[in-house]
Amino acid sequence: MKNSKAFTLIELLVVMAGIILLASIIIVGLAAARDKAKDATITGMLSQVRDEAQMIWVESRAFNDPSNSLCAGNILNSGNTNHPMLAEIADRIMKYNGGTQATCYAETNDYCVSSPLNLLAGFCVDSNGQATSVKITCDGDPVPACE
């Protein structure tokens, strides 16, 4: 019998399989952490929408004033020249949630803005002070509010 100090092929394959298994576990964990960070960014952006909405209210006394509106159609008004931060917020939300725009509804006295998240169903902020994870987006019927 030989007394060899070399590793056998089986031993090398077992070690390689263990390393591959650990690497795959780490990669999956990093992907979840990345999605969690994206969701935190979207949530932060939606909180900034509330600040922009308050400034619009102070200036116009309406969230849907045609010259200074929070929403354009059912999305954030990225063309509002009085509040260029809305365009940056809309772009970041789209960047971090896979290209989907935030849903936005505004009437004179009420608004709601929501966006899908990566790990949860979505997040919504509204003029009533709600800031919550939601299963459905904000709704404009009968008044804009998070549900």
Predicted pLDDT at 35? 92
Sign of CA dihedral 40, 46, 52, 58: negative
The owner of tokens 């954030």 is 76
Predicted pLDDT at 112? 93
CA 50 remoteness from chain centre? 15
Which sequence spans correspond to the domains of the chain? 9-133
The tokens for 7 are 């590793």
Burial class (CB in 10 A: 0-12, 13-18, 19+), 138: buried
Q: What is the pLDDT of residues 58-114, one digit of tens each?
A: 999 999 999 999 999 899 999 999 999 999 999 999 999 889 999 999 999 999 999
The phi and psi torsions of 98 (rounded to 5 degrees) equal 85, 25
Predicted pLDDT at 131? 86
